Amino acid sequence: MARKKFIRSGYWRFSKLGLRRKKKQIYRKPKGQGNKVRLGEAGRLTRIKIGFKRNKKLTGIIRNKNVRAVRVHTVDDLKKLQKNEIGVVAKMGARKKMILAEYAREHKIVLQNLNPRKFIAKVDEARKDKQTYKAQREKKIEDKEKKVHEKENEDKNAEKKEEHKQDHKHEHGTHADHAKHEKGASEAPGDI
């Protein structure tokens, strides 16, 4: 007999309770005063009661493979797996998962929710992408600093040229000053 599916009452009415949304179809205990499921009327949804539990011999067994699922957190848990057990990797970060995947690949251990070869390839690719991005970013920063440095040098050179021009003006004077000076020399004060 197929395992019974327990769904909350009212799932057929609202999207938030599971109408056309399988992930939202979960069981909640009916608590309404006149709720027909709570009262156990015939033809309604089934409530969870004692007696619906699976046979203890079958609990934790994956149906098609006839192996028991064991949650794996560390490499020690992987080492403890027996022939009739299959590992299910617990929720963890990429670094710890990488360690488990490498061990599983070396020792040819089957994991139900993780393909070690694909996972390692994916992580390696992500690392390469990160390194190339980092190198590009560093190069961009260096180029920016180089441009700023070049601009500062240009500004300094421009200031030096400006100062040099002003010093040259003070030493020799302008063309007008020079012309006045020559005119004044030709007209001596005693000639008039």
Residue 190 pLDDT greater than 60, yes or no: no
| 112-163 pLDDT tens trace | 999 999 999 999 999 999 999 999 999 999 999 988 888 888 888 888 888 8
Residue 191 placed within a domain: no
pLDDT at site 186: 58
**Overall number of domains in the chain:** 3
Residue 14 lies in a domain: yes
In angstroms, rounded to a whole number, what is the distance separating the alpha carbons of residues 60 and 87? 12
- d(CA 94, CA 91) in angstroms, rounded, equals 10
Are 128 and 105 found together in one domain? no
- 2-31, pLDDT tens digit by residue? 678 899 999 999 999 999 999 999 999 999
Please check whether residue 98 is in contact with residue 75, taking contact to mean a CB–CB distance below 8 angstroms.
no
Residue 192 within a domain: no
At 30-71, the pLDDT tens digits run 999 999 999 999 999 999 988 888 788 877 788 777 888 999
One domain for residues 2 and 22: yes
CA-CA distance, 12 to 7, in Å (whole number)?
Answer: 10
Of 172 and 55, the one with more pLDDT: 55
Per-residue confidence at 98, pLDDT binned at 50, 70, 90?
very high
Supply the pLDDT for residue 191: 53
Dist. CA 105–CA 37, nearest whole Å: 50
Q: Are residues 92 and 76 in the same domain?
A: yes
**What is the span of the domain harbouring residue 12?**
1-53
